[in-house]
Amino acid sequence: MKIVINKINIILICCLLYISKADNPVRCTLHEIIGDWTFVLSTDTFKPDLHSQKITCGKGQPGKIPKINKDHKFEFKSSRNLDLKLTKDNRAISSTNSGAFTILLQEGILVTIGNLILNASFRYNYVGDNNGRMSGELYESICSQTMVGWYHTKDNTVWGCFYAYKNSRTPEDFGRNNHAIIDLDGILYTPETLKDESYWDGDEPSSHFSIYETRVSQATANPGMPYFDPFSLVGREPSSIAEHELPEYLNWADVNGESYFPEIISQQCGECYIEAFLHAYESRTRILSRNKFQPRISREQILGCNFYSEGCDGGLPIAAAKFANEFFMVDEECYSQKCIHPTNISETIRDDVCCDKCDNERIKYKVDQYGYVGGYYGASTELGIMREIAARGPVSAVLNAPDDFLMYIGGIAYLATPVRNSEISRISDYAFSYFISASKNKISKNTMRDLDLEFEYANHSVVILGWGYDEELDLEYWICANSWGKDWGEKGYFRIVRGTNEMGIETAAEYFTVLVEIEGIPEIF
């Protein structure tokens, strides 16, 4: 199928877009994680303070990748051990407590047990520079250990550092991860490099993805759908919403002509994960307040202060939600400074140049609860995502966007040539055939686990803000917002096939609940 190309859009997008090949240079999957672990917790604790040097656990600032070799050993002056069994059903079990854990995509782990929350990246050893065709640094994934991470009490008053190591072997029938060496690099795509890489020959793109061409010119169109009041489901517990209660069409950017979605902001670096989280957060705040409260939250604060991410080099939306849960966010008027990363700063010292206090913190934007839809990575489903959007608003999501997705200008996107990332993930023949076939007129309740799929590769973060159904094509789709500007796609939006985990978009949808404090008092919407 021929795709219509707007070359002006390509130039505008490609000159601005930075696609990160890897943010945290580690790739680990569930089968490598389950088993018996020892978590070593430092007894030297501290109080949370973004502007304190002592808050550092391993990595002191966004964007700094510690270079440790294979012989390096983590240790604390004084510590205590917490032994946990991590199970296939995502439980974390100690001798006295039972909690839960989730893998954070394939980069790290988040454990909740008793009164503690623990979060760390899996370990990666620096191997050396890559002298091949791609410039960059090489790291090796060590999935039986973690880097030094943070733990804190659930009331967020006591913090400390920890690291962990696995005591049991991975069962042989699980196989091994043969893609252990990660190239940490990024590409700035321009029309010239697209030609060089055969992604675009100057007239037509390659066939990594295609579109179902429709007469609908933008994602906010709602042709002939019966009236439905989306606020009738807002505030409900998502799991309480029955499938028959969900409308055929829902779009938070167009509710009877009124938008409850903020104006799309273009990412300025590899911060798509921040834009995906903040656009969803700002929209949820608008929905809760019926548009009486329309915040524009500072991007620079999260870029400079959130040590759970890699700043302009990439990250995960859930890491931004975790930051907002444990600390707080402010609006652009309060914190608009541009972050400048000095080159002589230590990798383990916080960079106060990039994380400063704003003059007026009267309004604090926070997250009360957060996580993956379904409870853990790989548990989200089409039905679960629809319920979450209907009850609380747009969700953040990740996907594996092919290179020529940059050239999308409209229609319902789908992969014309699905790629099996077999060198990274285990995937059954049944799962593969399922994902490349259309699932029409029936909402899917299947998770990755149901399809024997451990992991879906992701390279980009977006927002899912609604869904629809094309009668002419007999095709269901998601309505999504990107962070590549209003000149891209359908005025910054795009539609993608729904119910088949297209480009992995249904793999790791994330939810959170909004909490706004005005002068220390929670705002009740």
Same domain, yes or no, for 162 and 290?
no
Confidence of residue 255 (pLDDT cuts 50, 70, 90): very high
To 5 degrees, how large is the angle CA 173–CA 179–CA 185? 155
pLDDT digits (tens, 9 = 90+) for 263-304: 998 887 878 999 999 999 999 999 999 999 999 999 888 888
Average pLDDT over residues 340-351: 41
Same domain, yes or no, for 266 and 307?
yes
| pLDDT of residue 78 exceeding 70 | yes
More confident residue, 389 or 4: 389
Average pLDDT over residues 450-472: 87
pLDDT of residue 55: 66
Instruction: Tell me if 289 is assigned to some domain.
Output: yes
Confidence of residue 306 (pLDDT cuts 50, 70, 90): confident
Instruction: Tell me if 192 is assigned to some domain.
Output: no
Same domain, yes or no, for 232 and 286?
yes
| pLDDT of residue 472 exceeding 60 | yes
Encoding tokens for residue 96? 């006295």
Say how many domains are in the chain. Answer: 2
Average pLDDT over residues 207-224: 48
| pLDDT of residue 434 exceeding 70 | no
Same domain, yes or no, for 112 and 167?
yes
Same domain, yes or no, for 142 and 247?
no
Q: What is the pTM of this model?
A: 0.82
Query: Could you tell me which of 407, 408, 433 has the C-alpha nearest to residue 420?
Result: 433
Instruction: Tell me if 190 is assigned to some domain.
Output: no
Same domain, yes or no, for 125 and 211?
no
pLDDT of residue 64: 64
Q: Domain with 215 in it: what CATH number?
A: 3.90.70.10
pLDDT of residue 131: 54
Average pLDDT over residues 331-354: 54
Instruction: Tell me if 199 is assigned to some domain.
Output: no
Instruction: Tell me if 196 is assigned to some domain.
Output: no
Residue 15 neighbours by CB under 8 Å, 6+ apart: 190
Residue 249's domain spans which residues?
7-12+205-520
Same domain, yes or no, for 113 and 178?
yes
pLDDT digits (tens, 9 = 90+) for 488-504: 999 999 999 999 889 99
Same domain, yes or no, for 228 and 305?
yes
Instruction: Tell me if 344 is assigned to some domain.
Output: yes
Same domain, yes or no, for 231 and 111?
no
CA-CA distance, 61 to 319, in Å (whole number)? 14
Instruction: Tell me if 1 is assigned to some domain.
Output: no
pLDDT digits (tens, 9 = 90+) for 145-188: 999 999 999 999 999 999 999 998 765 444 333 333 333 333 22
| pLDDT of residue 215 exceeding 50 | no
Average pLDDT over residues 445-453: 71
Encoding tokens for residue 418? 């699905």
Confidence of residue 17 (pLDDT cuts 50, 70, 90): very low
DSSP H/E element including 187: strand 186-188
pLDDT of residue 279: 97
Same domain, yes or no, for 167 and 295?
no
Instruction: Tell me if 17 is assigned to some domain.
Output: no
Query: Could you tell me which of 87, 83, 115, 114 has the C-alpha nearest to residue 102?
Result: 87
DSSP H/E element including 139: strand 137-146
Same domain, yes or no, for 214 and 179?
no
Same domain, yes or no, for 120 and 210?
no
More confident residue, 386 or 362: 386
